[in-house]
Amino acid sequence: MFKGILISKDEAGYRAAIEEINEAQLPEGDVTIRVSHSTLNYKDGLAITGKGPVVRRFPMVPGIDLVGEVEESSHADYKPGDKVLLNGWGVGETHWGGLAQKARLKGDWLVPLPAAFTPQQAMAIGTAGYTAMLCVMALERHGLRPQDGEVLVTGAAGGVGGVAVALLAKLGFTVIATSGRPEETNYIKGLGATDVLPRADFTSPGKPLGKERWAAAIDVVGSHTLANICATTKYRGIVAACGLAGGMDLPASVAPFILRNVTLQGIDSVMCPRAERIEAWQRLARDLDPAILTTLATEISLAEAIPSAEKLMAGQLRGRVIVDVNR
Ligand code: NDP
């Protein structure tokens, strides 16, 4: 038996609870892992609270991230004792995830834990941080250089936004952040932002084109915010869109794309090919100051994950949340 969060949906409704789970119930997979830590991402918040249709099968163990040690493996690349991490691939949505003491998965989904990180540091980064890195890599592929001008990052008091600010600042970019939480201005500046603008400056319907300001942007919000960012991005600039914290819609015009040659680059971490994941984790080991992870992350127990998911959805959690599944 092992302990985990189980999400159920039946006549009694949608609910998440800590349960004792029989190992025989673990799903199919060629690697069994003793999980040490998982995390709470926005998607885990949606899954645990039921506020979004993230869970596709019931019962489900949530947790789109995990780190731990291989217990059993029939996969050629992994043997018992290996330290591994996992982000995405539908884990915590269609396949049992990381918010439990054990997981069984496809070895092809795993990434060896980079030597640069402790298990806790890897989860302080988690899917949010790895997605922030994918966004930065997209800006670089576009040819963005620090001398091109200011880079905007939205939702900076959250997970993706916080890591994106820290990465860009360390790489020498001038980062302007947005946040709906003025009380977190010092925290966001501590991550490396030069200035923090109010979230409300971006959330109302705007004009098809505005004054050109951003050389590039990383957006976790979507909706009017993303439309307004595209409208104020400089000629030949790029916007990496990875989130929907403000809405799934995109009430924009084509003006920035056809008159300013702006690129709107979508970012998906879930099905991202293995080679790019490994590159992203190598880049995180190189370009993220590990000391910043202490500022960015807080650690909670498995039991605290359920009430914390409600707080995350209410926008009351800052940065990243690591879950010690054995506490
Ligand atoms: P967090 O909850 O940690 O951060 C989201 C931040 O967005 C909040 O902290 C807040 O920042 C801001 N925000 C929240 N609600 C609103 C709103 N209504 N309008 C405008 N801003 C808002 O989540 P994550 O960082 O984990 O994820 C951010 C987004 O990115 C989510 O939508 C998530 O689904 C998506 N995502 C996508 C991935 C992909 O593969 N494409 C992978 C990972 C995440 P502040 O208070 O500073 O304004």
CATH number at residue 184: 3.40.50.720
Please check whether residues 91 and 177 belong to one and the same domain: no
Please check whether residues 101 and 10 belong to one and the same domain: yes
Specify if 185 maps to a domain. yes
Q: pLDDT tens digit string along 102-153? A: 999 999 999 999 999 999 999 999 999 999 999 999 999 999 999 999 999 9
Specify if 160 maps to a domain. yes
Residue 20's domain is classified under what CATH number? Answer: 3.90.180.10
Q: Which residues pair with 241 in a beta bridge?
A: 219, 266
Q: pLDDT tens digit string along 204-233? A: 999 999 999 999 999 999 999 999 999 999
Which pLDDT does position 264 carry in this prediction? Answer: 98
Range of the domain at 297: 2-113+293-324
Which pLDDT does position 200 carry in this prediction? Answer: 98
Give the residues surrounding ligand 1 with Cβ less than 6 Å away.
41-43, 127-128, 131, 155-161, 179-181, 199, 203, 220-221, 242-246, 267-270, 312, 315
Which pLDDT does position 101 carry in this prediction? Answer: 98
Specify if 287 maps to a domain. no
Atom 1 of ligand 1: nearest residue by CA position: 158
Give the CA diameter of the chain. Answer: 61
Specify if 302 maps to a domain. yes
Please check whether residues 163 and 210 belong to one and the same domain: yes
Specify if 20 maps to a domain. yes
Q: pLDDT tens digit string along 164-188? A: 999 999 999 999 999 999 999 999 9
In the numeric block, the tokens 């995180």 are attached to 284
Confidence of residue 302 (pLDDT cuts 50, 70, 90): very high
Please check whether residues 227 and 315 belong to one and the same domain: no
Q: What is the mean pLDDT of residues 301-318?
A: 95
Confidence of residue 6 (pLDDT cuts 50, 70, 90): very high
Structural tokens at position 22: 């029989």
Please check whether residues 226 and 145 belong to one and the same domain: yes
Q: What is the mean pLDDT of residues 84-89?
A: 97
At 282, the amino acid letter reads Q
Candidates 60, 119, 56, 53; CA nearest to 86 is 119
In the numeric block, the tokens 């190992």 are attached to 23
What is the 126 CA–ligand 1 centroid distance (Å)? 14
Candidates 231, 269, 237, 324; CA nearest to 38 is 324
Specify if 163 maps to a domain. yes
What is the number of structural domains in the chain? Answer: 2
Please check whether residues 160 and 131 belong to one and the same domain: yes
Counting ligand 1 atoms within 8 A of each CB, the residue from 160, 181, 226, 296 with the most, and so the one to mutate, is: 160
Please check whether residues 56 and 164 belong to one and the same domain: no
Burial (0-12, 13-18, 19+ Cβ within 10 Å), 120: middle
**Whole-prediction pTM:** 0.97
What is the 229 CA–ligand 1 centroid distance (Å)? 16
Please check whether residues 191 and 302 belong to one and the same domain: no
d(CA 20, CA 47): 19
At 77, the amino acid letter reads D
d(CA 271, CA 174): 30
Please check whether residues 307 and 201 belong to one and the same domain: no
Which pLDDT does position 98 carry in this prediction? Answer: 98
Please check whether residues 63 and 183 belong to one and the same domain: no
Is the backbone peptide bond immediately before 62 cis, with ω within 30 degrees of 0?
no
Instruction: Decide if 217 contacts 241 (C-beta within 8 A).
Output: no
DSSP code of residue 30: S
DSSP code of residue 156: T
Please state the atom number of ligand 1 nearest to the C-alpha of residue 318: 9
What is the 53 CA–ligand 1 centroid distance (Å)? 16
Q: Which residues pair with 83 in a beta bridge?
A: 69
Atom 39 of ligand 1: nearest residue by CA position: 268
Confidence of residue 76 (pLDDT cuts 50, 70, 90): very high
Please check whether residues 313 and 182 belong to one and the same domain: no
d(CA 87, CA 131): 10
Specify if 274 maps to a domain. no
Q: Which residues pair with 324 in a beta bridge?
A: 37, 301
Which pLDDT does position 208 carry in this prediction? Answer: 97
Confidence of residue 203 (pLDDT cuts 50, 70, 90): very high
Looking at the chain, list the stretches that DSSP marks H as alpha helix, in order from N- to C-terminal side: 42-49, 119-141, 159-170, 185-191, 223-231, 255-259, 274-287, 290-296, 302-313
Structural tokens at position 216: 């590039």
Counting ligand 1 atoms within 8 A of each CB, the residue from 38, 42, 91, 228 with the most, and so the one to mutate, is: 42
Percentage of the chain surpassing pLDDT 70?
A: 100
DSSP readout, 128-144?
HHHHHHHHHHHHHHTT-
Which pLDDT does position 68 carry in this prediction? Answer: 98
d(CA 191, CA 96): 33
Please check whether residues 184 and 300 belong to one and the same domain: no
Atom 44 of ligand 1: nearest residue by CA position: 128
Specify if 178 maps to a domain. yes
Which pLDDT does position 176 carry in this prediction? Answer: 98
